[in-house]
Amino acid sequence: MAERIANASFASKVMSASDAAALVPNGAVIGFSGFTGSGYPKEFPPALAQRMRVARDAGEDFRISAYTGASTAPELDGALAETGGVQLRSPYQSDPSMRKAINAGTTYYSDVHLSFMAGQVAAGFFPKPDFAVIEVSAITADGELVPSSSVGNNRTWLELADKVILEVNSWQSEDLRGMHDIYYPIGALPPNRVPVPITSAGDRIGQATLKVDPAKVVAVIKTSDPDRNTPFKPIDDDSRAIANYLLDFLHYQVKSGLIPKNLLPLQSGVGNIPNAVLDGLLHSDLENLSSYTEVIQDGMIDLIDAGKLTVASATAFSLSPDYAHKMNENAAFYRKHIILRPQDISNNGEVIRRLGVISSNGMIEADMYGNVNSTHVMGTRMMNGIGGSGDFTRSAFISCFVSPSTAKGGKISAIVPMVSHVDHTEHDVHVIITEQGLADLRGLAPRQRAKVIIEKCVHPDYREQLKDYYERACATSTFQQTPHILSEALSWHERFNETGSMLQA
């Protein structure tokens, strides 16, 4: 794959992953590429994990801090977490071993909105990365980098790190070249910021390649390993029901003249429900759709193939193996419809607000007033992280949250008196949808919201229980803006911890 490294100076730095890992000292802060299982370095992290393991087995301390774009894969988050040597992890993860290390308290996890991470590291809120370890699909003759299947925070890590290690991955399609839009310069600090000049989801405002100072490149590793892609589960009844409520709601917004016939740019999280929504769009009469979102999923590829989705802006792919294969075969076609941007641009609040994005994200739980917990199970156990949900929710024209009304076989209600952790406040949450129904909370005050949420979203097994709590809170609370019985507000969570179910006996 000589042609993938078209620059002689970079080619002269090719070495093995373990030789590259040997360059990293104890205490290093590393900015990795990688976003939702795509575009992460595949060979270097396991080699580094091996180095850490050997050092730690010999009684030496060897810890590193790891920044990424978002979640990665077992080869990165899993391998590093299993050494027990990750000091700090940020911003988003979803790996079982990393989650375990975070919840055991051996790894600090700073859970930052994805669009903010690069700027906060540049500003010095976090330690600056010593190393950037970045997967690319090619290095051009003039030493620029063709990104691979995610952009994430790569341009910022490349700019801020003292040393750079590149993985050139020949599994990635060469035709990805031209799909990316890398906006330079990297975000200036206040008071020198300027508007991000995107006024339509399909605008290109940057260049196709990433820049790197060749003097900083200390190693180049050749790989041909595939991204970690997980197949989607077949769409289940609850997801289908939730998707139908959302699509009916969108049709009604069109009919009432609030939004155009081709909707507004859509953002959707990943998973079974968003997949069902995309499938619903595919089978609807809607056309000329656009998407300003975080990741490109299978359903968007189907919509592009059907000619219904004109353009999709994101920062990464999150494709099943079949669709990743399709992308690799047809990237020259898809790059006419897909733009991959740095995550501070794909998730940029200023742009999201200007475009009027309609957002839709999953949640762990919501409370009867519309506060949403996306991250913590029973208030203390980290699940994944806030990801881009806050970037989109706060700035969306219409923000939606979707979830089955219960979890763990009905033992947990997704609608509770008070959320055990707040990621999205009642001020930001416009619509909540479960398989039971849709609560349109726009313009409502807390007590009005509670009535709609209890009526539309709560599972019948929990409806009377929540209604009873709400009525007693209204009857006994001195202040009536947001009535609660504080001694009871988290009793459903306590009951689950004690008995294994939130249901009252």
- Please give the residue ranges that form the binding site for ligand 0RQ (CB under 6 A): 36, 269-271, 293-295, 361-365, 374, 377, 383-384, 386-389, 404, 407-408, 412, 414
- Residue 373 beta carbon to ligand 0RQ: minimum distance, rounded to whole angstroms: 8
The whole-angstrom separation of Cα 333 and Cα 226 is 21
Q: How far is the CB of 173 from ligand 0RQ (least distance, A)?
A: 21
Alpha carbons 344 and 154: distance in angstroms, whole number: 11
Would residue 82 show up in a list of annotated catalytic residues for this protein? no
Q: How many Cα atoms are found within 13 Å in the side-chain-facing hemisphere of 284?
A: 23
What distance, in Å, lies between the first and last C-alpha atoms of the chain? 66
Residue 278: partners with Cβ closer than 8 Å, 6 or more residues away:
268, 297, 298, 299, 300, 302, 303
165: phi > 0 → left, psi -120 to 50 → alpha, else beta; which? beta
CB of 169 or CB of 389, closer to ligand 0RQ: 389
Nearer to ligand 0RQ, 29 or 319 (CB): 319
Comparing CB distances to ligand 0RQ, the nearer of 209 and 318 is: 318
Instruction: Give the E-state strand segments of 270-413 in sequence order.
Output: 289-292, 295-297, 309-314, 316-318, 338-340, 358-362, 365-367, 372-373, 376-377, 381-382, 398-402, 406-407, 412-413
Tell whether 384 is in a known binding site. yes
Query: Which of 379-390 are b and which e, b meaning 16 or more Cβ less than 10 Å from the residue's Cβ?
Result: beebebbbbbbb
Query: Would you say how long the chain is, in residues?
Result: 505
Check 294, 365, 426, 435 and give the catalytic one.
Answer: 294
Given the complex with ligand 0RQ, which of 160 and 363 has the nearer CB atom?
363
Rounded Cα distance between 95 and 101, Å, is 10
Closer residue to ligand 0RQ in complex, CB, 303/377? 377
Closest separation in Å from C-beta 367 to ligand 0RQ: 11
Q: State the minimum distance, in angstroms, from the CB of residue 214 to ligand 0RQ.
A: 33
Shortest distance, CB of residue 10 to ligand 0RQ, whole angstroms?
A: 32
In single-letter form, the type of residue at position 503 comes to: L
Closest CA to 110 of 91, 94, 135, 136: 91
Q: Is 388 annotated as a binding residue?
A: yes
Q: What is the DSSP string of 142-185?
A: TS-EEE-SB-TTHHHHHHH-SEEEEEEETTS-GGGTTTB-B-SS
Report which residue's Cβ sits closest to ligand 0RQ.
362
- Residues classed as catalytic: 294
Annotated binding site for CoA: 364, 384, 388, 408
The annotation places the binding site at 364, 384, 388, 408
